[in-house]
């Protein structure tokens, strides 16, 4: 069922539907918002990975 999801015909239909819903004027704004959201998500995910790495390997106590 999901194997042909990224078929070019499906992507064209999706693009047409998005154009009809949002119009060509709002697409750059939506793209920019989506890019910023993905960047924030990746930064947050990297921060969690760094925190988990620190928690798993705590620094040795000084003598």
Summarised one tens digit per residue, pLDDT across range 13-33 is 988 998 899 888 888 898 899
Q: Is the per-residue pLDDT at 49 higher than 90?
A: no
Q: What is the pTM of this model?
A: 0.54
Contacts of 19 (CB under 8 A, 6+ apart): 27
Question: Rounded to an integer, what distance in angstroms lies between the CA atom of residue 5 and that of residue 11?
Answer: 8
Question: Rounded to an integer, what distance in angstroms lies between the CA atom of residue 20 and that of residue 17?
Answer: 5
Q: What is the pLDDT of residue 3?
A: 73
DSSP classification of residue 7: -
Q: How many residues in total does the chain contain?
A: 63
Contacts of 1 (CB under 8 A, 6+ apart): none
With cut-offs at 50, 70 and 90, classify the pLDDT of residue 41: very high
Which residue is listed with tokens 């993905």? 38
């Amino acid at each position: 069922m999901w194997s042909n999801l990224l078929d070019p015909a499906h992507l064209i239909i999706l693009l047409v539907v998005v154009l009809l819903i949002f119009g060509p004027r709002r697409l750059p704004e939506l793209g920019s918002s989506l890019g910023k959201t993905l960047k924030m998500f990746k930064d947050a995910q990297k921060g969690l990975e760094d925190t988990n790495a620190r928690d798993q390997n705590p620094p040795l106590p000084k003598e």
